[in-house]
Structures are given as C-alpha cells and as structure tokens.
Amino acid sequence: EAQVTQNPRYLITVTGKKLTVTCSQNMNHEYMSWYRQDPGLGLRQIYYSMNVEVTDKGDVPEGYKVSRKEKRNFPLILESPSPNQTSLYFCASSLSLGNPIRGYTFGSGTRLTVV
Amino acid sequence: AQKITQTQPGMFVQEKEAVTLDCTYDTSDQSYGLFWYKQPSSGEMIFLIYQGSYDEQNATEGRYSLNFQKARKSANLVISASQLGDSAMYFCAMRERTYNTDKLIFGTGTRLQVFP
C-alpha cells in the first residue's frame, strides 16, 4: 500500500530533550516536506526536500532540523524542544514538482507535547 | 504572496442535505492548483479533490464537487447527500511552486458537523 509512515503518533517530552520524528514513504517520491498544524493557523511548512541531500527552509524552520540521506526517509529533528513546539506535525510527499494532480500524500500525523 | 481564506469557522448540516464550504484565494500566478483536504477527529489529512486553474470543467469526485469560479477567485467545496461520517475539519489549499520551492498554502479550515 502506498503510504507515508510517521512515528511516533503521540509523543510527550520535556523541554530541551532532543527528539526525532521519523517519516518514510514507499512511493519513490522525490519531494518531501514537514508541516505543523496549530489551531487557527492551518498548516505551515517547516522544511522541505526536493531530492536526496537537498533540503531547504519553509515558513517556520526555527528550532527544527531535517536530513535527507535516502530518498524514502525525511526525519524531523528537534535539538532542544520548547513548549511552543507543541503541535500536530505532518510529513508529506509528492512525486515531483510537475505532478499537481493528486497533490501530496500525508502521513497520519505526530501529536507532540513539550512540557 | 498567495493566500487562502476560509471564512466559515463552523458549519452545520443535516444528514442527506448538501452543504457548501467556502474558499477564496489570492494569487498572481496564471497556473495554479487548488485542493481540498478532510481531517477527521483522528487527525489524518485525507485528499478529497483537486482543481487546476486551466481545467475547463469543475472537478468532481463522488459526492464531492468543486465550484470553481476563476474570475471571483473562489473554489468552494460542495458535499452532496451529507453523511454522519462527513463530520470533520475541511481545509482548502493552494500549491505554490517556484524554481526553488513547492508547498501547500492552507486556509484556517472549516469544521463541519453533520447531524441526524
């Protein structure tokens, strides 16, 4: 089944404790991206990657890191999480820049709480 | 900059009735794509329907149709014969593509509640 898999689904952590949210897709998509969703703000892009070893900042990159060593994986790293990073996070992938028809495939989301 | 506006924070509809969720957009691009996603209480984002700016006909996918009015820059989602399972958050989004970026710009969403 074609899908984007995020782990974990739920995570509660303490301020300053490094964490990684994993994202993996099995569709051979070049493009992958991370979004965060906050009430009243919709979804906002954190980072994106157009292909292996190519990453760039989205609209709200502060406090996050990413890497794209393999085509299928795009982990989101919070080196020192803070309470304002409490949010619902989505990983998404897409076949290419030239494929708008089906948009993006989203993962199931990771609900992160930083206390 | 591109922008998506959803002015209805919440909508109610009775089962089996049709409902329209509003979406207006702002862009200076000639070529663009508009999407609707459904987010049930479980949290996942489910793709519903897509409309390209050059598509001559309004998009339809089962009970979902998109009322695309290009001159008015609106892309309203119409759900026919509402079902209880349609209760969810609905997001309108536009794809922004440049030489070095590709992302979805989302509206703030509309929460739809279907009652028996």
Average pLDDT estimate for B8-13: 96
Is residue B3 within 8 A of residue B26, CB to CB? The reply is yes
A44 touches chain B (CB under 8 A): yes
A83 touches chain B (CB under 8 A): no
Q: In angstroms, what separates the C-alpha of A115 from chain B's closest C-alpha?
A: 21
- Give the C-alpha separation, B4 to A102, whole Å: 19
- Whether the per-residue pLDDT at B97 is higher than 80: the answer is no
pLDDT single digits (tens) B39-82: 999 999 998 999 988 888 999 999 999 999 999 999 999 999 99
- Whether the per-residue pLDDT at B1 is higher than 90: the answer is no
Average pLDDT estimate for B18-36: 93
Please report, rounded to a whole number, the percentage of residues in chain B having pLDDT higher than 70.
Answer: 100
Q: Where are the beta strands (DSSP E) in chain A?
A: 4-7, 10-13, 19-25, 31-38, 42-51, 54-57, 65-66, 76-78, 87-94, 105-106, 110-114
A104 touches chain B (CB under 8 A): yes
Question: What integer pLDDT is reported at residue B55 of this predicted model?
Answer: 86
Pairs of CB atoms within 8 A across A/B:
64
What residues of A are in contact with residue B103 (Cβ under 8 Å)? 33, 45, 48, 58-59
Contact flag B95-A105 (C-beta cutoff 8 Å): no
Q: In angstroms, what separates the C-alpha of A34 from chain B's closest C-alpha?
A: 10
- For residue A95, the tally of other CB atoms under 10 A from its CB is 16
Residue B102: which of A48, A102, A108 has the nearest Cβ?
A: A48
Ramachandran bin of A23, using left for φ above 0, alpha for ψ from -120 to 50, beta for the remaining angles? beta
What residues of A are in contact with residue B101 (Cβ under 8 Å)? 48, 56
- Whether the per-residue pLDDT at B83 is higher than 60: the answer is yes
What residues of B are in contact with residue A40 (Cβ under 8 Å)? 108
Question: What integer pLDDT is reported at residue A2 of this predicted model?
Answer: 79
- Whether the per-residue pLDDT at B91 is higher than 90: the answer is yes
Higher pLDDT, A104 or B7: B7
- Whether the per-residue pLDDT at B109 is higher than 70: the answer is yes
Please report, rounded to a whole number, the percentage of residues in chain B having pLDDT higher than 90.
Answer: 78
Question: What integer pLDDT is reported at residue A100 of this predicted model?
Answer: 55
pLDDT in tens, chain A (115 residues): 879 999 999 999 999 999 999 999 999 988 899 999 998 888 999 999 988 998 999 999 999 999 999 999 999 999 999 999 999 999 999 876 555 556 688 999 999 999 9
- Kindly state the tokens that stand for B56: 């001559």
**Among candidate residues A56, A14, A21, A53, the one with its CA nearest the CA of residue A36:** A21
**Among candidate residues B50, B51, B52, the one with its CA nearest the CA of residue B31:** B52
Residue B44: which of A100, A101, A108 has the nearest Cβ?
A: A108
- For residue A96, the tally of other CB atoms under 10 A from its CB is 12
Q: Is beta strand B74-79 parallel, antiparallel or unpaired with respect to B88-98?
A: unpaired
Q: Is beta strand B110-115 parallel, antiparallel or unpaired with respect to B10-14?
A: parallel
Q: In angstroms, what separates the C-alpha of B13 from chain A's closest C-alpha?
A: 22
